[in-house]
Amino acid sequence: MPLSLFTRRQKSPVRDASPFPVPARHAVLGTPLQPPFPDGLETAVFGLGCFWGAERLFWQLDGVYSTAAGYAGGSTTHPTYREVCGGGTGHAEAVQVVFDPERVSYDELLRRFWEAHDPTQGQRQGNDVGSQYRSAIFWTSEAQRVRADASRAAYDRALKDAGRGAVTTEVAAAGPFFYAEDKHQQYLHKVPGGYCGLRGTGVSCALPPATETPALRPVAASDGEWRERLSRDEFRVLRKAGTERPFSGEYVKTSADGTYRCRACGNPLFDSGAKFDSRTGWPSFTETVTPDAVELRTDRKLGMARTEVRCGRCESHLGHVFDDGPRSAGGQRFCMNSVALDLEER
């Protein structure tokens, strides 16, 4: 869900630095809370409701070097807890996890993340209500993005198989991480028995092996490179915003289970669970796998205002989105060209 749909707007002070001191050391691990960190370590950022319990979930893992409570995913610089709780900064309460990938994998962090909370609740986590408590993964590398997307699709399927709702977790590039106040750092170590809002769904998360996650193809730098990679029809649709004839595409009637990817670059776009028969002659979907999987633009080429859908990674043309989809699924119809898609079957 795009941030703008659920974030209230309010003015917050513009700051160039934190308005409060950040502790130098982790109260449990004794390691630095802020960079620089030793070579070979990686950083991950997660939002899963109140950051008190979320931080403890990760500092207990062998291979985690340091953790910190803070704010991520918003637009306000160096916010305070009070400002974030006001709902207008755009930030989620988040945990920064610094880990040694030789001792604990990013996949293991993802598994702990999914199983520790309920990622189907949108703007809340249990009794904690507000956009600051939303479920979110903020990736710090392309490799993390690929695994985060794969894990989201896998856990969404597992929850649906268990009769639960759809995943609402935001998956986005990590912007600046702003440290929370001293009292919030390692809170449940300082206040044993303090509030912990973590409640999982009871559904296990089985991630697909990394070897099963197709590598994203490089984004071509010129039309000439795209012409070499794509067929004539693919180039016409993907790079020149063409449209295939209705009922001519290979995915119009396909019901196979899997993930639909951009044929130009491999970016994951749609899950088969979101596909429906719109009877329009083009494959149609009710939602994308993540909000940033696509980019929406205004298209006025036919003398009317339509919303064009482009790949969020390589900006290739995919189709259009209309507001005549199933109301029970949000009302949107992502009308795609088959030639712009590749189906990775499960």
Is residue 33 within 8 A of residue 25, CB to CB? The reply is: yes
Is residue 134 within 8 A of residue 92, CB to CB? The reply is: yes
Residue span of the structural domain in which 10 resides: 3-209
Q: Looking at the structure, tell me whether residues 163 and 237 fall in a common domain.
A: no
> What is the C-alpha separation between 119 and 113, in angstroms, rounded?
9
Give the CATH number for residue 197.
3.30.1060.10
Q: What is the mean pLDDT of residues 8-13?
A: 56
Q: Looking at the structure, tell me whether residues 156 and 248 fall in a common domain.
A: no
Residue 189: other Cβ atoms inside 10 A? 16
Q: What is the mean pLDDT of residues 145-161?
A: 88
Q: Looking at the structure, tell me whether residues 175 and 224 fall in a common domain.
A: no
User: What is the band of 99 on the pLDDT scale with cuts at 50, 70, 90?
Assistant: very high
Q: Looking at the structure, tell me whether residues 70 and 202 fall in a common domain.
A: yes
Q: What is the DSSP letter of 17?
A: S
Q: Looking at the structure, tell me whether residues 162 and 61 fall in a common domain.
A: yes
Predicted confidence (pLDDT) at residue 246 exceeds the cutoff of 90: yes
Active site residue 335: no
pLDDT in tens, 255-268: 888 889 999 999 99
> What is the C-alpha separation between 46 and 136, in angstroms, rounded?
6
Q: Looking at the structure, tell me whether residues 173 and 270 fall in a common domain.
A: no
**DSSP for 45-111?**
EEEESSHHHHHHHHHTSTTEEEEEEEEESSS-SS--HHHHHTT-S-PEEEEEEEE-TTTS-HHHHHH
Predicted confidence (pLDDT) at residue 8 exceeds the cutoff of 80: no
Give the CATH number for residue 276.
2.170.150.20
Cα 23 from chain centroid? Answer: 30
Q: Looking at the structure, tell me whether residues 205 and 233 fall in a common domain.
A: no
Predicted confidence (pLDDT) at residue 2 exceeds the cutoff of 80: no
pTM score > 0.85 for this model? no
Backbone angles phi, psi at 284, to 5 degrees: -130, 145
Q: What is the DSSP letter of 343?
A: E
Q: Looking at the structure, tell me whether residues 86 and 18 fall in a common domain.
A: yes
Residue after which a domain boundary falls, among 147, 181, 209: 209
Instruction: Burial-class residue 180 by CB neighbours within 10 Å (0-12, 13-18, 19+).
Output: buried
Q: What is the mean pLDDT of residues 314-320?
A: 96
Q: Looking at the structure, tell me whether residues 205 and 326 fall in a common domain.
A: no
| Nearest residue to 64 (alpha-carbon basis) of 37, 94, 92, 93 | 37
Residue 115: other Cβ atoms inside 10 A? 17
Predicted confidence (pLDDT) at residue 1 exceeds the cutoff of 50: no
Residue after which a domain boundary falls, among 209, 232, 255: 209
Number of domains in the chain: 2
User: What is the band of 280 on the pLDDT scale with cuts at 50, 70, 90?
Assistant: very high
Is residue 54 within 8 A of residue 46, CB to CB? The reply is: yes
Active-site residue among 50, 205, 262, 265? 50
pLDDT in tens, 213-244: 556 788 998 999 999 999 999 999 999 999 99
Q: Looking at the structure, tell me whether residues 219 and 337 fall in a common domain.
A: yes
**Residue 88: predicted pLDDT:** 86
Euclidean distance between the first and the last CA atom of the chain, given in angstroms as a whole number:
25
Q: Looking at the structure, tell me whether residues 164 and 221 fall in a common domain.
A: no
**Residue 346: predicted pLDDT:** 67
**Residue 215: predicted pLDDT:** 60
Least confident window among 51-65, 167-181, 198-212, 245-259: 198-212
Q: What is the DSSP letter of 330?
A: T
Q: Looking at the structure, tell me whether residues 57 and 185 fall in a common domain.
A: yes
Positive or negative torsion for Cα 261, 262, 263, 264: negative
Is residue 151 within 8 A of residue 110, CB to CB? The reply is: yes
SS3 322: strand
Residue after which a domain boundary falls, among 188, 209, 230: 209
User: What is the band of 39 on the pLDDT scale with cuts at 50, 70, 90?
Assistant: very high
**Residue 211: predicted pLDDT:** 58
**Residue 110: predicted pLDDT:** 98
CA dihedral 177, 178, 180, 186 (to 10 degrees): 30
Average pLDDT of the residues of the chain: 91
User: What is the band of 143 on the pLDDT scale with cuts at 50, 70, 90?
Assistant: confident
SS3 150: helix
Backbone angles phi, psi at 70, to 5 degrees: -170, -160
Q: What is the DSSP letter of 274?
A: G
